[in-house]
A = this chain, B = another copy of it.
Amino acid sequence: MLKKIAIFGVGLIGGSFALALKQAGAVQHVVGAGRSLASLQRALQLGIIDAIATSPADAVADADLVLIAAPVAQTGAILASIAPYLQIGTVVTDAGSTKGDVEASARLALGTKISQFVPGHPIAGRESNGPDAAIANLYVGKKVVLATLPENGQADIERVASAWRQCGAVIHQLSCAQHDVVFASVSHLPHLLAYALVDDIANKPHADMLFQYAASGFRDFTRIAGSSPEMWRDISLANQEALLQELDAYQLKLTQLRGLLASRDGPGLDAIYQNAQQSRHRWICAIEAAEKQNKEGGD
């Protein structure tokens, strides 16, 4: 049982974490902190938090666990604001979508207290944001990647892992560098590609006619281009190096496909389309099997 947790950013991600721990009976007292007083007051009203912190010192005093669930670009400043008040028994984690930049800013902000920071990334979300979007079951069956640092002690890692497990999540462990390579490939690049396609079409002179005939395949392909531009600008810049590498590999693949198409190489196109279709099919089967197992394990 956690006596006190502090949440910086009481929106969808932080709020759902608090609600899930409360529902599991895993925490006694939740303190909220953040830049928007209106959000904090709403979170208090909704029972997500029990109190609003009066200062960074107040937020982290005697806390077992601190979660930073604010935009990635703010992580360094928040860590710097609490660093002087961090007690030895307190573990800090975050929920940012990139980890290399978070690690770098955490080392700057925390100095010798870096061992108390266990970077994390819950792979979960919803279309909506803010305290009102928070739900207790957001993380059930979802992955949480702990991008642990060499300095982290096993007990501190376990405290963070255990809290997420109480929210229903499944824990994975990667290094920060591994994390960023993986998510550049399966998340950050697809976002960039979807934004690029919609922007490309929207800038054509006959854009209105084109959009008129876009159907459900286009809607699903571009769904992630409905995400927050500011957030994805920050993620793109934060994970610049890995994202550039993935983008270059993808451009090579497109150039290869262009060559096959230009030379009317049917078998060549077929081989790529088939490999993609079959790989995706195996992946879907694997995640469905894993989801089924998680559900059965949870009963």
- Listed in ascending order, the chain A residues whose CB lies under 8 Å from chain B are 123, 143, 145, 172, 182-183, 185-187, 189-204, 207, 209-215, 217-230, 232-233, 236-237, 240, 243-244, 247-251, 253-255, 257-258, 261-262, 264, 266, 269-270, 272-277, 279-281, 283-284, 286-287
Contact = CB atoms under 8 A, between A and B. Distances in A.
Contacts of A272: 195-196, 199
Contacts of A262: 240, 244
A187 B218 contact: yes
A253 B247 CA distance: 12
A270 B201 contact: no
Contact of A190 (B218, B237, B250): B218
A217 B223 CA distance: 8
Closest 5 CB pairs of A and B: A229-B273, A202-B279, A198-B276, A186-B214, A195-B276
A196 B276 contact: yes
Given A215-B123, A224-B221, A264-B240, A185 B199 contact: no
Contact of A225 (B186, B270, B276): B276
Given A261-B243, A261-B247, A275-B202, A217 B210 contact: no
10 contacts: A172-B213, A187-B213, A189-B197, A191-B217, A196-B276, A220-B221, A221-B221, A222-B276, A247-B258, A251-B255
Contacts of A204: 185
Contacts of A145: 213
Contact of A224 (B220, B224, B248, B250): B220
A274 B196 contact: no
A282 to B, nearest CB: 8
A220 B217 contact: no
Could you say which of A182, A190, A251 has the most chain B C-beta atoms within 10 Å of its C-beta? A190
B230 A224 contact: no
A277 B226 contact: yes
Contacts of A218: 186-187, 190
A203 B243 CA distance: 17
Given A185-B201, A233-B266, A247-B261, 6 more contacts: A143-B213, A145-B213, A199-B273, A219-B287, A237-B266, A251-B255
A250 to B, nearest CB: 6
A177 to B, nearest CB: 13
Contacts of A270: 229-230, 233
